[in-house]
Structure 1
Amino acid sequence: MNIELLVLDIDGTIAGESNEINPGVKEAIAKVKAQGIKVAIATGRMYCSALRFHQAIQSDLPLIVYQGAWIQDPITQVRHRHLPLSLESAHQLLDYFEQPALRDLISVHLYINDRLYVREIANETEAYTMRSSVKAHPVGDLRQALTTEPTKLLALSDDIELIDNIWGTLRKRYTPAELYLTKSVATFFEATNPLVNKGTAVRYLAEEYLGIKPENVMAIGDNFNDLEMLEYAGIGVAMGSAPPGVQAIADWVAPTVEEDGAIAAIEKFL
């Protein structure tokens, strides 16, 4: 199979606990690029948070962020795509998370124009902003701050069962045509525009931007938010830490990020 584009997730794929790309992974990526294969990043992170990883691997392609809702070229600053949540959907979700039964159990993050807005700075938010290297703007009731369509909504809790219950409840309430609902890690529930997922973003990058076919694409990811791009790519690789449902659709399962699974996948296929 002639691979012309390699697409990489960040967290759990090329960056582990250290929150950095280790030298071995950078070297493997450099060898891929030396063969003439393009390399891109597709992440749920904010644009400002993902930029340093894009620079670290010296990619010359647009950067896919916010699960594919936002695609921007860091070199030219051209934004190729921005598909935000509707104000109606965002207000409905915020009303749901402001229920007394949930309000004190969940931290909600709202992303508008690549800025992070929160009700208050909770422990989960502190941990998130530290890893993401971003600033959170506490505004009280997020519904009052919602005057512009947000790019994404994220709900965080250390209670994995609670996040699973929220995901299950809202998937019954909204069809895929109304909202795209996913999890990027076990403690993160995410909601975006229904046209958004990494699969449609990678399709845009491959077919419209580069003019190549799905069979010329290889993608590596580790969680449910990577599902669509792994299905789209000619070679879809799941990391060893990926949930069983993600591993099941992959063409190959690599070792975990801490075991340099991305290097193993690159060496096996490229």
Structure 2
Amino acid sequence: MTADIRLLVLDIDGTLAGESNQINAPVLEAIGQVQQRGIAVAIATGRMYQSALRFHQLVGSALPLMAYQGAFIKDPKTQKLHRHTPLPRQLALEILTYLAPMEANNDLSVHLYIDDQLHVRTIIDDTEAYAQRSGIHPIAAGDLAMLLNNNVAIETTKLLTLSNNLDLLSDILSHLGQRYPTEDLYLTRSVEYFVEATHPLAHKGEAVRFLAEDLLGLAPDQVMAIGDNYNDLEMLRYAGIGVAMGDAPEPVKQGADWVAPGVDADGVAAALREFLL
């Protein structure tokens, strides 16, 4: 039992929701009990804002929603955009240029997120599957570099590379990580077939710090965070209690204070019973 936790931050995919894309009743019940004890609940996700809204509403969060790894923090109730840290234009163009030959060979697809809309070169099966799970409508925009070059006001919230070739994604992650230092670009994998690129301050650790300290006046040891993948590591390390799901990669488990059962075993509910209920 940890009495001083005032903020609970939850990831969505692999944490709140598994393959079903739904939150199981025991998890919702445990979250409700936590809120009854006066602990605020927030969502921090790599998902688009519009895709994450349903989960934000399901858990009854009264706080701003941290989407796109924290690059986009907006309050659904007031519609106030608290923070938007887009990927610098030149970096986005350089990454698009690097990925272009691979995309032309149909080795991968590139997702560009602009104004909370998904832009792709063309809509393929992978895009359709992603859009269906996310509940969004992708825009076939053709040449994405040309899109950016022709619209100087466009701000790219996030760039995502999707591929079933996991070795290729590992090579891309390695290449970009060597080319761009962490102070210039944040790179992560939220699931094994994604590589995601955002502004260097657009990660969940910084987003949770901003929400906790700047908006709520809390200290890190008053925060509990639960996540399941590499993009959750920063917030798990920031929080006073960082919980990794049982399905998490080993380095994520090692970066956590406690490991819960997997998402299909309602690991969030187990973690809340362990520490807060």
Q: TM-score range by the shorter chain?
A: over 0.9
* Structure 1 segment 29-44 matched on structure 2, within 5 A: 29-44=31-46
Alignment of 1:247-258 (within 5 A): 247-258=253-264
User: Which residue in 2 is equivalent to 1:132?
Assistant: 134
Q: Distance in 1 between matches of 2:267 and 2:104?
A: 37
* RMSD of Structure 2 on Structure 1 (CA): 1.0
Instruction: Give the C-alpha shift of residue 101 in structure 1.
Output: 7.8
Identity over aligned residues, as a percent? Answer: 57
Match of 1:111 in 2: 113
Deviation digits for residues 132-155 of structure 1, max 9, x if unmatched? 000110111111111312000000
Distance 1:102 1:166 in 2: 15
Q: Which residue in the other structure is 2:247 paired with?
A: 241
Aligned-partner SS, 1:27: helix
Q: What pairs with 1:169-208 in structure 2 (closer than 5 Å)?
A: 169-208=175-214
On the 8 A contact 1:220/1:236 being kept in 2, the answer is: yes
Rounded to whole Å, the distance in 1 between the matches of 2:105 and 2:181 is 24
SS at match of 2:156: coil
Give the C-alpha shift of residue 102 in structure 1: 6.7
Counterpart residue number, 2:275:
269
Distance 1:257 1:189 in 2: 22
Shift of 1:28: 0.5
Question: Is 1:77 the equivalent of 2:83?
Answer: no
CA distance 1:19–1:100, shift in 2 (3 Å): closer
Q: Which runs of 5+ in 1 are unaligned?
A: none
1:177, 1:194 within 8 Å by CA — same for their partners in 2? yes
For the Cα contact (< 8 Å) 2:67–2:73, is it kept in 1? yes
| 2:11 matches 1:5 | no
1:226 aligns to 2:247 (yes or no)? no
The Cα offsets for residues 15-48 of structure 1, whole Å up to 9 and x where unpaired, read as 0011011111110100000000000000000010
TM-score (norm 1): 0.98
- The 8 Å contact of residues 118 and 136 in structure 1, kept in 2 or not, is answered as yes
State the Cα distance separating 1:99 from its structure 2 match.
2.1
Provide the rounded CA distance (Å) in 2 between the counterparts of 1:177 and 1:230.
Answer: 20
**CA deviation after TM superposition for structure 1 residue 219, in Å:** 0.1
CA distance in structure 2 between the partners assigned to 1:180 and 1:189 by the alignment: 11
Does residue 28 of structure 2 align to residue 60 of structure 1? Answer: no
AA aligned to 1:188 is: F
SS in 2 for 1:211: coil
Instruction: Summarize the Cα distance change of 1:3–1:52 in structure 2 as closer, same or farther, 3 Å threshold.
Output: same
2:119, 2:139 within 8 Å by CA — same for their partners in 1? yes
Task: Name the count of aligned residue pairs.
Answer: 270
Contact 2:103–2:109 (Cα < 8 Å) also in 1: no
User: How far apart, CA to CA, are the structure 2 residues paired with 1:157 and 1:191?
Assistant: 15
User: Partner amino acid for 1:205?
Assistant: L
**Following the alignment from structure 1 to structure 2, what is the Cα–Cα distance between the partners of residues 117 and 3?**
39
- SS state of the match for residue 82, structure 2? strand
Task: Say whether the 8 Å CA contact 1:9–1:220 is kept in structure 2.
Answer: yes
For structure 2, the residue ranges without an aligned partner over 5 or more in a row are: none
One-letter amino acid of the counterpart of residue 171, structure 1: G
In terms of mean alpha carbon deviation, does 93-102 or 183-192 score higher?
93-102
2:242–2:257 Cα contact (<8 Å) kept: yes
CA distance in 2, matches of 1:247, 1:51: 27
**How far has the Cα of 1:111 moved from its partner?**
0.3
- Counterpart AA for 1:138: A
